[in-house]
Structure 1
Amino acid sequence: MSNRNMIFMILFALVIFVGSKSVYVIKETERGVLLKFGEVVNPDIQPGLHFKVPFVNNVRKFDGRVLTVDSQPEPFFTQEKKALIVDSYAKFRVSDTTKFYTATNGEEARAMGLLAQRINDGLRNQVAVRTIQEVVSGERDELMEDLANDLRDVVKTELGVELVDVRVKQIDLPRDVSDSVYRRMNAEREKEAREHRAQGQELAEGIRAAADREVTVIAANAYRDAEQIRGNGDAEATRIYAESFNQDPEFYSFTRSLKAYQESFQGQGDVLLVQPDSEFFRYLKDSSGGK
């Protein structure tokens, strides 16, 4: 290979190398800044294909989408000096690329760390002026709204990011306190359950006693009515018998004697000792009864 061809190939490779260093692309999801010897000369490069001066200009790209910083759970003290473990997260996006680059050197992880630190400081201040009840349920939404309002201007000025939202994921008591609270709550629930059982048993006994009393009253009334009906029936039967027997007293006497004979001589070994002229044999001697 001749020296001329070698020089041509070297120049061609150099052009390709310089050209690759002169062209860059900014995506729709990215934000970029153009630097000249480390100084920002274009803080907001629009998406698309761009050119730069190799070895003079440098381009730093940042994610332009909404990012999430998940803070580690931290202990905070309430107004009553009670400890709470608060777990939170925040949504943010890069708004001022120049400020973001100078504050974090363009490092996303560093920006998240600084933002998480400021969120924890804000949470500490917000929790310190509220009671446990207010933090857990009463003013939880207000707490997050106040925290976001306090931090928006600060993080935009210091870090060059827009704070979209701040949310508290979870609020817990410390381990030793939560165990104590759980035991107390368990004891209270058991006490309440015993009270409900006692009230239920008392109510059941009252219902059972009322039912037994009602059964006794109903049975007594039924027995009274039955005896009255039975007495009225017996009286009516006696009246009917009396009227029937009064129509022919001799026939009534005759049927009574026959019934007495039947009941007296039911068994084969029955023995009856009476006088032969006894009234018992009145109709055996004479069917007319002595008339």
Structure 2
Amino acid sequence: MTNWMQSDIEGRRAWTGGTDELSVTVVPELGAKAVSLLNRKTGREWLWSSGKPLGNRGFGSAFGDSDECGWDEMFPGIRACEYPEDPWRGEPVPDHGEAWTLAWSAAADERGLTCAVNGKRFPYALEKRYSFPDAHTLRIDYTAINHSAHPFSFLWAAHPLMRASEGMRLRVPDGLNEIEVAYSAQERLGGFGDKRPWPVAAQGIDLSVIEPDNGRSAEKYYFTGTLKEGWAELSDPSTGEAVEFRFPAEQVPYLAVWANYGGYDDHYHIAIEPATGRMDDLSYAMGRGEAATIAPGGRYAWHLELSVR
């Protein structure tokens, strides 16, 4: 059993739980975002901070106008768009979704820390429960519930902004050898929807190796097709440390990467983003049959495990 302790961070209530090897700190008021993922054995903080004060500008605001740090949940969309089907046709889906700007409830018990929120424009509930199945692993169990009498389609992606350093390595399952570009600063990898090989996308661009902070490059891409295995790893050869994500490919069939080497807001970080749909735009994903859907009155459950060494 993990003891969850409450504290104040910049005047906001936070919850911290962990083991002798790993801890996480969550701020429920700010979309139940994680602001710390700490390897207690080495002292390494994996989550990146922008240095801005914690907070956002409220529901529907742009992610770039927020603290832009830590680990947010993107749900029920990622890129701002409009829901394409009745009965919510034309309803705006905010930038990075709804959940990250809403205040969540939080309660700790013998099962872990449970955070929950209800949708604002759409009739869903989203819940996540943090627990530690072993000393070096954090598990998050997610459940999305559709409170309406109509099918509800959504995108979810984890958005853990990790501290980057030159030479770190990104490892993904064998057989993933092509990506599709969702965003590329100055179109270094091409425009939206362009495809490139993985890991060497072009001459001099090896996407599996973290680049230096060059002030120019920033990319978001998805691996094409659905996953057969749900995992990815970010490692630091200079220290031997690594963080590995594992998730069920049946419920979370896609994998994306956000790599920002100074080309967006002068930030330097990387995010491994397991996802239930592809290419960020919910309307686009629904049109391609690449969004998850919850039946009327139904629920959609998945989990994510994160291990450190």
TM-score (norm 2): 0.18
Rg bigger for which structure?
A: 1
From the two aligned structures, give the one with the greater strand fraction: 2
Higher relative contact order (CA 8 A, sep 6+): 2
